[in-house]
A and B are shown apart, each in its own frame.
Chain A
Amino acid sequence: MELIAKVSKGSVMDQIYLPKKRAGFPIGKHVLVSSLESKKTTEKPYFYHVKQLSPIKIRIIEEIFALIDSHVEKYDNIIITGSFLDQGFIFNDLDILLITEEKVSFLQKILEDTFRVKIQLLILDYKSLLVGLSTDPLYQSMLSQCVAKKRIIYKQKHTVIYQILDLHLLKSQTLPLNFDFLNGNEKYYLTRNMISILLFVQGKKITKERLNTAIKKIFHLKDIDVIKKNMLDKASFIKTYKHIYDQTFALIMSTIPHGTKQK
């Protein structure tokens, strides 16, 4: 027997009222209360260079997709990226890229209230994503390892815009100065930022593996965890870091067209 009823608000407990005259559901019988909304078939997400992801993380990702789906009428894609996709369950925050033309800034609070973790929500339209992918090494790095709701299709172009690269590189300038006060993850983030810019200017493809391999090679590290766990030799690291920084800066400046004029 099935009955349709509405959940009513109560003072201590909410309740569902059933008509006295009914066939079935005698007093004392245990019943299953289920939502009337038809369950949508969940589409399998698309994994890009994600080796292993625990079932609980996949579940969280599906919940994120469902939540965004229920609040945003039209979108091109939802992409999860960043430290959440690393092995284990230690992550700084949830990086979410929402490709839509709608104004949905309210979504940040909803996501944070629902999942109770720090959310980095980046909202942009598809055209901006394509521009970002061709000009910004950070976008390429983001999408080199991600989980997406829909298939990601783009043709990767490579355009060097010196202002964007210089802006990103400036962020990494202060690592030697603040070395003693930064934790391992912060040092890794700034180092990875600088190396991604270097590889981008050299015309190389940016992936997480390539970045980590380059970092290990340049700084003579056995493992990338040496940076993340803050076990670096300060003097030798800073010496190499400054050299690579100067080299990267010179490369960026060499891309400035000669015909540009000053104010």
Chain B
Amino acid sequence: MVQNRNKLIDFFVGNLSNAIVHTILEKAAGDNALLAKSYQKESINSRNTALHYRNMINPIYTYLPDRDIDFIKKCLTQKVTSELKSRFFKKYEHIDLTLIKSSIDKALQDMKVI
């Protein structure tokens, strides 16, 4: 099924935000190694799906244009913050909201967006 570029970016952002949330919750698991390992596994699955969409967004082998980068960063920040805050305010233990920016930057570097 052929999708337009904006739709592909939406799919990419949605899956990558899921992976980033998993990564931050993995750190919140703390000493629980089994839980952390499970979060890591699910993060990898979501990243692979995000990578699949990234490889359909041109330019594939180089960084995206600044306009796209700004849009993606803004959407990711909104989605990840929203997901984590919905847990944070319910007293979910050990969620570190300061990790959001660095996790997003790292994920985008891994995906060759920035």
Contact = CB atoms under 8 A, between A and B. Distances in A.
B95 A166 contact: no
A174 B46 contact: yes
Contacts of B32: 163
A263 B15 CA distance: 27
A257 B45 CA distance: 30
B84 to A, nearest CB: 11
Contact of A253 (B18, B25, B39, B90): B90
A258 interface: yes
B80 interface: no
B49 interface: yes
Interface string A154-187: 0000000011101100110110011011000000
A174 B20 CA distance: 13
A163 B91 contact: no
Contact of B88 (A178, A180, A249, A262): A262
Nearest to A132: B34
Given A166-B25, A263-B94, A253 B87 contact: yes
B91 A177 contact: no
Nearest to A260: B91
Contacts of B49: 174, 178
B39 A167 contact: yes
Interface residues of A, number: 23
B15 A178 contact: yes
B15 A256 contact: no
A180 B1 CA distance: 8
Contacts, number: 67
What is the interface residue range for chain B against chain A? 20 to 34
A178 B39 CA distance: 20
A16 B18 CA distance: 62
Interface string B12-46: 00110010011001001100100100110010011
Q: Give the secondary structure class of B's interface.
A: helix
A167 B14 contact: no
Contact of A167 (B25, B86, B94, B96): B25
Contacts of A253: 86-87, 90, 92
A170 B35 contact: no
A258 B87 contact: no
A262 B85 CA distance: 12
Given A163-B29, A177-B14, A178-B15, A170 B91 contact: no
Interface in B72-89: 86-88
A261 interface: yes
Contacts of B63: none
Interface of B: 1, 10-11, 14-15, 18, 21-22, 25, 28-29, 32, 35, 38-39, 42, 45-46, 49, 86-88, 90-96
11 contacts: A163-B29, A163-B92, A166-B25, A170-B22, A177-B11, A178-B15, A181-B11, A256-B92, A257-B91, A262-B95, A263-B96
Given A171-B45, A174-B15, A261-B93, 8 more contacts: A163-B28, A163-B92, A166-B25, A170-B18, A174-B49, A177-B15, A254-B90, A262-B94
